[in-house]
Amino acid sequence: MEIVDAHHHFWDPARNYHPWLRDEPPIPFRYGDYNAIRRRYLHEQYLADARDYTVTGSVYVETEWDPRDPIGEMTYVAELRRKGLPSVAVGQAWLDRADAGKVLERLTGFDFVRSVRHKPRPGDMQKATRWRKGFALLAKRLGRFDLQTPWENLGDAAALARDFPNVTIFLNHTGLPADRSPEGIAGWRRAMAVLAAETNVVVKISGLGIPGVGCTAEANRQIVLTAIDLFGIERCMFASNFPVDSLCASFDEIYRCFAAIVDDFAQDERRALFADNARRLYAIADGAP
């Protein structure tokens, strides 16, 4: 199967500083104990995990690198790209900082940087905040933003999308539907429907692992099909979130889960979800990098 992986990470904690991968004690995490991924994870490990798939492109997403040096991460990615992956990258910029404009200007100097991610805190996406001022600078510089936030905040995200219609917002990890109770799913669906009304928002269907359960079609069918129903096939894409989601499932299990859920879709629809949408929306050139 050909895939363009819309969301993955590379890191080497022995060489580069990632506070959450090196500091003690580890931070609280939605998948629980993550000591298994506090290790080197680069091309060799990724391609071994993806060995049953033809990866024709990928999107590297910032790794909460040393906050004092956001440019250093993209310099490192430029070095990584010499081995063929990633095709493009999502950089780090702290939008609520005074130097946000300068950092964004430097990030745009890398021809493979397509987007920026800075996980907003509660209230950041509301009007008249310093974070919003930084987002306005991003709108002028890049025109893409990767949003990772719990689904309870998607009302604010919808307002942000309305206020910046020229920015394509990539919702990470399907809006984080961690609560799989009937009430939790219903709340997530309502929030996703509000966000889906904004046509400049697209969704990365990823991050669906369940500790102790894995990533199965049975567990995730409702989530995946609801996201596709709300946003439309043209605004959805599959992604591995590796190595983070290796805490719950193998690369193959994740993609088999996706494939089983959309098995009855038309061939061009499956191709869009697995590869073409990520390539189009992140402007990945054929044969990149």
266 falls within a domain: yes
Which pLDDT score, from 0 to 100, does residue 134 have?
97
Query: pTM here?
Result: 0.97
62-72 confidence digits (pLDDT tens): 999 998 998 99
Which pLDDT score, from 0 to 100, does residue 286 have?
79
- Picking from 37, 145, 140, 41, the residue whose alpha carbon sits closest to that of residue 90 is 145
- Rounded to an integer, the average pLDDT of 117-124 is 95
- Rounded to an integer, the average pLDDT of 80-92 is 97
d(CA 196, CA 201): 7
What's the whole-number average pLDDT of the chain?
Answer: 96
**Domain span at residue 277?**
2-281
- Picking from 32, 34, 44, 3, the residue whose alpha carbon sits closest to that of residue 205 is 3
239 falls within a domain: yes
pLDDT tier for residue 289 given thresholds of 50, 70 and 90: low
What is the amino acid identity at position 130? R
Q: Which two tokens stand for residue 277?
A: 């949408």
Q: What is the CA radius of gyration of the chain?
A: 18
220 falls within a domain: yes
18 falls within a domain: yes
CATH for 26: 3.20.20.140
d(CA 79, CA 64): 18
89 falls within a domain: yes
286 falls within a domain: no
289 falls within a domain: no
d(CA 32, CA 49): 22
287 falls within a domain: no
Domain tally for the chain?
A: 1
pLDDT tier for residue 288 given thresholds of 50, 70 and 90: low
